[in-house]
Amino acid sequence: MKRKDGQSLVETCIILVFLCLIFFGLLELSRLTAAKEILEYAASCGARARAVGFNPFMVHKVVRVASIPNAGPLLQPAVAPTPIAPVFQAQRPGDAWMMALRAQPRSHQLPVEVSRIPLFLGAETYGQLPAILDYARWEEIRHAVFDLRAPQVTVHTDQPLDIQMPLLRLFIGEQRIRLEGRADLENHYPLYLGYDTP
């Protein structure tokens, strides 16, 4: 009887390891999918900005703002971290659940970002941008604009993998995965400005 109990314990441990690997792999895959969607959105914002006639500097700023969710922690301006809700002070599990349901999480960073984004978009030179708004991974997010018949914008980044599991490296050999978003729109500004495109 003890031998069977030990065997079932070992089998359960092996299965749990594989289930955790699958779970964390799916979690990382969903995070990478969300990051790719953000890059697609940033590319479409950049293509739209170029299609209405904005200059390359304005397209750069629009792509940067649209890619904020992929940009990592806020560096400039410095913001105090959001305090953790007092859920851990509860006496019983039911009390903790009720406190979590009543809590309305507020980020100290959100009002700062909302107030700084118009200033960032209104900046006149590249040198002003880091002093207004800067993120840890903004420099890793790059874009290219191709003006052929229609503006085409490509936004790419090497997204770091947040889950550092040795077994995950068997399936993914790198610590970063290259993600890319593309968008193209038809040029409309010559029609409204009254001249033909070359």
- pLDDT, tens digit, for every residue of 10-45? 888 899 988 887 887 788 888 889 999 999 999 999
* pLDDT confidence bin for 109, thresholds 50/70/90: confident
Q: Which of 2-6, 7-11, 49-53, 84-88 has the lowest mean pLDDT?
A: 84-88
Residue pLDDT, tens place only, 77-91:
887 765 555 545 556
- CA-to-CA distance for 159 and 152, rounded, in angstroms? 22
Mean pLDDT, to the nearest integer, of 137-142? 89
**Cβ atoms of residues 185 and 150 within 8 Å:** yes
Q: What backbone torsions phi and psi does residue 68 show, to the nearest 5 degrees?
A: -55, -40
**Cβ atoms of residues 132 and 119 within 8 Å:** yes
For residue 107, the model assigns a pLDDT of: 73
For residue 119, the model assigns a pLDDT of: 93
Q: At what angle do helices 56-66 and 109-121 cross, to 10 degrees?
A: 170
* pLDDT confidence bin for 67, thresholds 50/70/90: very high
Task: For residue 68, list its beta bridge partners.
Answer: none
Q: What is the pTM of this model?
A: 0.73
β 151-160/142-147 pair status? antiparallel
Q: DSSP strand E in the chain: where?
A: 74-76, 134-135, 142-147, 151-160, 176-184
Residue pLDDT, tens place only, 149-177:
677 888 888 877 766 555 555 666 667 77
For residue 91, the model assigns a pLDDT of: 61
State whether residue 40 is helix, strand or coil: helix
The two three-digit tokens of residue 6, written as one number: 């030990």
- CA-to-CA distance for 73 and 112, rounded, in angstroms? 13
Mean pLDDT, to the nearest integer, of 54-58? 91
Mean pLDDT, to the nearest integer, of 102-127? 84
Task: Find, among 13, 10, 128, the residue nearest to 64 by Cα.
Answer: 128
Task: For residue 1, list its beta bridge partners.
Answer: none
Q: What does pLDDT average to over the chain?
A: 79
